[in-house]
Structure 1
Amino acid sequence: MNKFWIILLHTYLNKLKTKSFLVTTLLTVVITLGLTNMSNIIEIFDKGGDKEQIAVLDTTGQLYEPLKEQMSTLNKNLRLIEFDGTEKEAEKAVEKGEYTGFVQLRYDQEHLPEATYKAMSVAESPIFTDLQAGLQQMKTMLAASKINLTPEQLQQLYEPVSFEKIALEENAKTEEELNQARDLVYVLLFVIYFAVIMYASMIAMEVATEKSSRVMEILISSVSPINQMFAKILGIGLLSLTQLAVLLSVGYFSIKRNLSSLEGGFFDAFGFGNISLSTISYAVIFFILGYFLYATLAAFLGSLVSRIEDVQQMITPMTLLVVAGFMIAMFGLGKPDSPFIVITSYIPFFTPMIMFLRVGMLNIPVWESTLGIAILLGTIAFLAVFGARVYRGGVLMYGKSNSFKDIKKALQLTKKE
């Protein structure tokens, strides 16, 4: 056991000091700070610039003021300026950069407002959308006045219909709880996806690197292959937790500082205040089991290659399994109770993502989630035993070995020892 901890700490500290890990962590921290302070960054740039100016050619002489009033509530950063010249003059003013664009107002055959918007580029969709919304409100009010509708009648006409949803299932989740669970599932799916892609590949690369340096021949003769394999898996696991802890801490304190003026706690601000403890517990369990599942698979796949260049080719099928599970889970967010989702939740390589999706969004029987956990534990145990045998023989294979046929050769080498 002493050798196990030596390999674990060596793997952890060795990777922790690498330039790639430090640079990646630093860049991710910078990106995290940028994303969590995006509103402040945008505000800084907006302070340095003027409001976007839109020239208004009102051919009716009656629509400019109502439109200006509507836009004052829709978009305060948009400034409407009445233009006294011709359409050609307005086009030239836009081309010179004096205005972002110009809108021409007129009446249609039914004496209701219509408009044409011109700009150097129509890619500025928010401007167009806000102008269209303002004109639509004006048109609605004018049309209502033509048929003598009072403001109260108009408000009643557009008032949304009362539509209450009630689940008959006992202890069924409310709509609010479902939305919170969906958000949590969505976050965890991305965490599992990126953690497996990044850290499982790192494990395979670590094994291949040591093997290419012939260090493995010394290690395999003095340490049990299963101890060695899980020492590396746990070492990289600690590394991933270190990096995640740094990122989550930076993100938490940055967001908390920006949300200090809001009522409620940190999780309440993001709508996670009512997430049950059991859902959070399942999230942790399935994340850990999902990591160990793919990490064990990556370790013995990495032992089959002799060159670092062949690692990505060997673990590509594993990566495709992760991608497939992620895509199925994305589909399942909309239909978590479909038969396809239920069946795939019991396939070990998809269980961490899809079973948690079902647990988070549905009230499934406890035996189903327990069965999913048992399937994962059984698969991890099988991969550990089988992987240790492949690992022991695979690390002694050199030369061109980047095919899954090499698993048989690795097992044969293990039997000869």
Structure 2
Amino acid sequence: MSKFLATFSQTYLSKVRAKSFMISTLIIVLLIFVGANFDKIIGIFDSSEELTTLKVESDAAFLTQFEAVMDALETDIDVTESDGETGSAEALLTVEGTEPLSFTLAANQEIPADQMNTIETALAEVQRNITIEALNLSPEEAQQLSAPPEITYDIASSADDFAESESDSMAPEMFETNILNTIIFYVTVIVMFFIIINYASQIGTEVAMEKTSRVIEMIVSSVPPVTHLLAKISAMILVSLTQLGLFIIAIVIAIQLFDFSSIISDFGLESDDQTLTMIIYSVIYLILGLVLYLSISALLGSFISRMEDLQQALLPVTMFSLIGFYIAIFNVFGSADNMLVKISSYIPLFTPFVMPLRAINPDTSQITLLIGILILIASIILAIMLAASIYRNSVLSTSNGIFKNLKRIRKE
């Protein structure tokens, strides 16, 4: 155990103290805090000053109606009668004509786009109401103006009707995707992909470099090869989780320090019954996905005896992680539970990417998500066992080329 801890601590400390680790972590943390203040940063570059008062020059009837519509839109702009002056953070709305209605909006500064949209929406509603009154329409007739048409389809039956109805019944049901859950999924998949690409290369390099530099000859004289490899894998997994933990701490601090109410209201981010389940399973699959891919990277690194073969050996990790990433990303706004998603979610190398996508769907059972976890755990155990076996048999090999090492290991 002491030999395992010695290798583990040495690998872990050397990685977390590396400048590349510190700089990359610092950059991501800074980006998190920048994102938390995105609305404030935009405000710095936005020269427009929000309106506080909108003065209206019109008759009393229009003023009353317009004020009621603006109140219904829950805007922060106060609507008052014009006094002939327009000060700072104020605008003047003048009614130029009534048939048809025409308006002039004057201000001493640029008006923010969201407030302009609110004013235009209110004016359109007032114009609609005035038009209804001018035409002397009843409430039922006025409602019919915006009612959608009723369409009854009477299509002649054909021999293909049965096949069409059967295919419709087999098609996956579409569900309305919650924006917050979708963001959680995107963050999970993107973070997993980039950490895998980064640390898979590092652990492969660690294993390959020791073999190519012949340092391993001195190491295995005091530490069993399997113990040494497991310590390396465990250390690299903990390094990746340490960096991930720092990102999570930065997010929690940003939530505590900064007000997200305006961003949440602007983007309509609201949790639902599936959000907590989505967060829990996303974290589980993220961790298991990292462990699986790093274990496979160590396995592949055990095959090679030259640094020139490293990229070739790690190609499967890059390829499968990229395929899983694209399957997950490109099925978010389609059917998140189609046949491709269902099948790929049970393929171990794709499971950590695709199963969080299925977790978005409230119709996905807990058993399905738990099966995905069991598949990953079994795959991790198998990958570590294979890596240990291959590493033990090839640790002192000087054969050049991956395929030569494979043949030699098979013979042994």
Shorter-chain TM-score above 0.5 = yes
SS at match of 1:348: coil
Correspondence 1:373 to 2:373: yes
CA change 1:222–1:156 in 2 (3 A) is farther
Provide the C-alpha distance between the structure 2 equivalents of 1:395 and 1:146, rounded to a whole number of angstroms.
91
Shift in Å at residue 76 of structure 1?
Answer: 8.5
For the 8 Å contact 2:36–2:260, the answer to whether it is kept is: no
Unaligned stretches of 5+ in structure 2? 52-57, 78-94, 105-111, 150-174, 263-268
Provide the C-alpha distance between the structure 1 equivalents of 2:305 and 2:70, rounded to a whole number of angstroms.
64
What corresponds to 2:81 in structure 1?
none
Shift in Å at residue 18 of structure 1?
Answer: 0.7
What corresponds to 2:248 in structure 1?
248
Correspondence 1:202 to 2:202: yes
Moved more, 362-371 or 6-15: 362-371
Shift in Å at residue 134 of structure 1?
Answer: 6.8
What corresponds to 1:147 in structure 2?
135
Provide the C-alpha distance between the structure 1 equivalents of 2:350 and 2:281, rounded to a whole number of angstroms.
15
Shift in Å at residue 276 of structure 1?
Answer: 4.6
Amino acid at match of 2:188: L
Residues 285-304 of structure 1: CA deviation (Å, up to 9, x unaligned): 32232112111111122342
What corresponds to 1:288 in structure 2?
287
Matches within 5 A, 1:395-414: 395-396=395-396, 406-414=401-409
Provide the C-alpha distance between the structure 2 equivalents of 1:270 and 1:11, rounded to a whole number of angstroms.
42
Amino acid at match of 2:329: M
What corresponds to 2:5 in structure 1?
5
Matches within 5 A, 1:334-345: 334-345=334-345
Matches within 5 A, 1:65-84: none
Amino acid at match of 1:147: L
CA change 1:261–1:367 in 2 (3 A) is closer
Correspondence 1:324 to 2:323: yes
Matches within 5 A, 1:252-291: 252-259=252-259, 271=271, 275-276=275-276, 280-291=279-290
Provide the C-alpha distance between the structure 1 equivalents of 2:314 and 2:113, rounded to a whole number of angstroms.
43
Aligned residues: 363
Residues 130-175 of structure 1: CA deviation (Å, up to 9, x unaligned): 78757755664564455345799757865999xxxxxxxxxxxxx8
For the 8 Å contact 1:199–1:240, the answer to whether it is kept is: yes
For the 8 Å contact 1:390–1:410, the answer to whether it is kept is: no
CA change 1:352–1:111 in 2 (3 A) is same
What corresponds to 2:21 in structure 1?
21
For the 8 Å contact 1:286–1:356, the answer to whether it is kept is: yes
Provide the C-alpha distance between the structure 2 equivalents of 1:314 and 1:144, rounded to a whole number of angstroms.
73
Shift in Å at residue 408 of structure 1?
Answer: 3.6
TM-score by length of 2: 0.66
What corresponds to 2:190 in structure 1?
190
Amino acid at match of 2:237: G
Residues 248-282 of structure 1: CA deviation (Å, up to 9, x unaligned): 212212222223989xxxxxx862687456x5543
Shift in Å at residue 394 of structure 1?
Answer: 5.2
What corresponds to 1:57 in structure 2?
none
Shift in Å at residue 385 of structure 1?
Answer: 2.8
Identity %: 34
Amino acid at match of 2:325: F
For the 8 Å contact 1:355–1:369, the answer to whether it is kept is: yes
